[in-house]
Chains A and B, each alone.
Chain A
Amino acid sequence: MTLNPALVADATVEVTSVSKWFGQKVAVSDVTCSFGPGLTGLLGPNGAGKTTLLRMLTGLTLPSQGEVLVKGALPRASVDRYREIGFVPEESALYNTLTAHEYVTYAATLSGLGDPGTAADGALATVELSADADRAIGGFSKGMRQRTKVAAALVHDPEILVLDEPLNGTDPVQRAHLIALLAKLAGEGRTVIVSSHVLQEVERMTDRVIAIVDGKLAAAGDIAAIRRAMSHIPYRVLIECNRPRDFAAALLDNDAVSSVTIDDSRILLETTDLIALGTAVSRQARDLDVRLSKFAPQDESLESVFRYLVGGR
């Protein structure tokens, strides 16, 4: 028997043959996967269908085809289901005239908590926002707004937490704190589903990944396996220097370089071995006395990687 890496044994959220289309546009196509206790990364480039899938998990959007079950029932079967779900949307979803404390207290009141004020204090402390709790959300930075949304999603202590690009706009310190918080929540036995278009972010949070490209399931399971699948895909690297033509010609002879394109003072290289390329560039620049002003790997979104994965299925 072959185990499907997209499925888990102790699933709390089950997605079965789910498709969603808006008019002629197919946003999600025949996706089957499941999520259980622990942290799962939902990975995919922008526009891959992650947000649509997450909205279907929460019941905000209904599938055009297929079925989503949350703890064995349709998300919209009963509003009581929302006692168990916390959702952090990618978009703002904040009331700018309210303070952070008012906003989270509002969330607690709507969740039917007995002492909403105290619950809000706790949730804001969890995301380290207590000091700014009485400031209006309208004046918050993007990172603070993200943390306010996370506090509102956590305030009713949900068993299932769904977060759409929660690290967007956060600074490195806030990001590290949020990642640690999500790992802690997952460690407590909650089902935590986090979407991101940045592989490195997801890699820091979890080993289990569901990758989506063009609305289709591209890869699932152990992140190391997905990384291995990516090793054959050429990286694109942008180089800027004072003598691009001479430098490009010299690099063409190097085995680490797959292709070279020149555009004014910029060279765009493709390589399957980023480390070997770095060494070669540094050596050639020294030998030819070329002054480098930029060496920047492209494809941070990993879109090409995901396309490769989809193409290889």
Chain B
Amino acid sequence: MNAFLAIVRVTIKQTLRLRRALGLLLLSGSVAGMYLLFMIATRNSTNTLALQREEAIEVSIGMTIGVFMNIVVPVVTLIIATSVMGDERRDNTMSFLVLRPIRRVVIAGAKVTAAFLEALVLTGIGAAAFGILVGIKIETFSYFVPLLVGTTIATAAYAAIFVPLGYLLKRATLIGLTYVFIWENGIAAAVPALSSLSPWRIGASAIAGLAPPEFQELVGSEFGLGAIDPGAGGAVIKAVVLMAVCSAIMASILRRRDLAT
């Protein structure tokens, strides 16, 4: 096993604590739970089938963008990603890592990758459960893959941002939440040119690009993508670039600054 994989493996083992994982899984699955309540509540609807389907799609999009991508994915990823480096700093294990003959960019890249994979397991399970229920309700699973792809991309982008934050700041979770709610919902929403720096919109653009046409009719009103064009390819590239840039910044910090204690 090489150093990169070893760091990823040990990081996941060290940070994936059962109680926290169950709590985050509950949060991740909460959107599926809400959708289940919606399904139960509309079970005996007297509307026409076409109207019921239209309503189900509208609720699916609203929950995806307004709750799952806007709250669940960033919060789950924030908690995981900030602890990936933050725990090393708190436990004084950073010296163990940095005093080995491995390039700093390998450490940073492995940490971002570990945070992404660990968070993806949790957000992915929530997305899958939600996607399956949407599929059952609208009798087609055409929304399932776009939802999973969008979740994966947003998780990657958030992990890239929150890993360095966890290393640099002692109150990273609080600052991260401020970032999510002020930057994502305030500044990036008000200034369309900044939407390229919003993981929420990057993930949403992938969903918008891949979703079936009947979902896309709602895209303009619900997704609020700003200057971002819908499309999975562009979203993947943006997430990969974000991961690379944040890993490089993290590596530079490890090279130049005193080891944080």
Q: Which residues of A contact B (CB under 8 A)?
A: 55, 58-62, 76, 79-83, 85, 87, 89, 91-98, 102, 106-107, 109-112, 152
Contact = CB atoms under 8 A, between A and B. Distances in A.
A112 B93 CA distance: 19
Interface stretch (B7-15, B70-78, B184-192, B219-227): B7-15
B6 interface: yes
B100 A110 contact: yes
B258 A110 contact: no
Contacts of B53: none
Given A82-B99, A107-B100, A98 B258 contact: no
Contacts of A81: 101
Q: Which 9 A-B pairs have the closest CB atoms?
A: A110-B100, A91-B92, A109-B6, A82-B101, A60-B259, A61-B258, A93-B92, A83-B101, A79-B101
A93 B95 contact: yes
Nearest to B16: A97
**Which residue among A79, A85, A89, A92 has the maximum number of chain B CB atoms within 10 Å of its CB?**
A79
Contacts of B14: 95, 97-98
Contacts of A55: 95, 259
B259 A92 contact: no
Nearest to B6: A109
Given A110-B3, A111-B101, A98 B96 contact: no
Contacts of A58: 95, 99
Nearest to A62: B258
Contacts of B102: 79, 110, 112
Contacts of A85: 99
Given A83-B101, A85-B99, A95 B258 contact: no
Interface string B2-26: 1100110010011000000000000
A79 B103 contact: yes
Given A83-B101, A110-B7, A112-B102, 15 more contacts: A55-B95, A60-B98, A79-B101, A81-B101, A82-B100, A82-B101, A87-B95, A91-B92, A92-B93, A94-B91, A106-B10, A107-B96, A109-B3, A110-B6, A110-B101
A110 B2 CA distance: 7
Nearest to B17: A97
Given A61-B258, A98-B10, A93 B93 contact: yes
A102 B93 CA distance: 15
Interface in B68-108: 91-93, 95-104
B135 to A, nearest CB: 38
Contact of B13 (A60, A83, A94, A98): A98
**Which residue among B7, B93, B104, B257 has the maximum number of chain A CB atoms within 10 Å of its CB?**
B93
B1 interface: yes
B170 interface: no
Contacts of A89: 92, 95-96
B255 interface: yes
B104 A79 contact: yes
Contacts of B259: 55, 60-61
A111 B3 CA distance: 8
Interface residues of B, number: 25
Contacts of A152: 96
Interface in B229-258: 255, 257-258
Contacts of B13: 95, 97-98
A245 B14 CA distance: 59
A85 B95 CA distance: 12
5 contacts: A81-B101, A89-B95, A91-B92, A97-B13, A102-B10
Contacts of A80: 101
A65 to B, nearest CB: 14
A85 B7 CA distance: 20
Contact of A60 (B1, B7, B104, B258): B258
A159 to B, nearest CB: 13
**Which residue among B93, B96, B99, B258 has the maximum number of chain A CB atoms within 10 Å of its CB?**
B99
B103 A106 contact: no
Contacts of B101: 79-83, 110-112
A185 B86 CA distance: 35
**Which residue among A89, A106, A111 has the maximum number of chain B CB atoms within 10 Å of its CB?**
A106
Nearest to A90: B92
A60 B93 contact: no
B100 A93 contact: no
Contacts of A87: 95, 99
A92 B98 CA distance: 15
A116 to B, nearest CB: 8
A102 B10 CA distance: 9
Given A76-B255, A92-B92, A93-B92, A60 B99 contact: yes
Nearest to B104: A79
A107 B98 CA distance: 11
A59 B93 CA distance: 15
A85 B99 CA distance: 8
Contacts of B92: 89, 91-93
Interface in B165-221: none
Contacts of B93: 92-95
Contacts of B96: 89, 93-94, 107, 152
A112 B3 contact: yes
